[in-house]
Structures are given as C-alpha cells and as structure tokens.
Amino acid sequence: MSGNVLLYVDGQPIQVPAGGNVAAAVAQVTPWFRRSIRGAVRAPLCGMGVCFECRVKIDDIDHRRACMVVARAGMQVQTHG
C-alpha cells in the first residue's frame, strides 16, 4: 500500500500511511486515549489488542481498540481522554 489516509481525531484532520492503524493517528493528537473509571488517563500498552487501553469511539461505535483497526479515509475517531 502507498499513500496516506486522512481521518479525524477529536475533529482534527490527521494523516497516517495507508495500512496504518487508528492508534497511530490518535497518538499524533494526544498521548491519552481514555480515562479509567477513577479518572486516571490511559494510553496503549501492548499495541496488539490484549490490554484494551487504547479504546476509542470510531464512527459512533464505542470501545473499539484503536491498535486493531486499520485507518480508513474519513473515519471519525473520538478519544475519551
């Protein structure tokens, strides 16, 4: 794959290489992907879908693991940080 994909993270346009994951796009905007139920900031730990720390809302679907989702043009991603 070649080229870039444009998606939106918290309303901000972000480009990632085609084939890249949503976590790579979110990391360009903020180091914090979400907050725990006690309010502690959380970020990806494993990068392979095991830890669930990179959960974000993608196209109105909550709790998606950003490290496991390939970025598509026009995606709307919302962090919970």
Tell me, what's the pLDDT at 80? 84
Please give the angle made by the CA atoms of 35, 17 and 55, to the nearest 5 degrees: 15
* Contact of 23 with 78, CB cutoff 8 Å: no
Cα–Cα dist 13/62, whole Å: 20
pLDDT tens digits, one per residue of 3-42? 999 999 999 999 999 999 999 999 999 999 999 999 999 9
Domains defined along the chain, listed by start? 4-78 (3.10.20.30)
Show the CA angle centred on residue 32, arms to residues 27 and 33, nearest 5°.
80
Q: Is the model's pLDDT at 63 over the cut of 60? A: yes
pTM of the prediction? 0.90
Burial of 68 (C-beta count, 10 Å sphere; 0-12/13-18/19+): middle
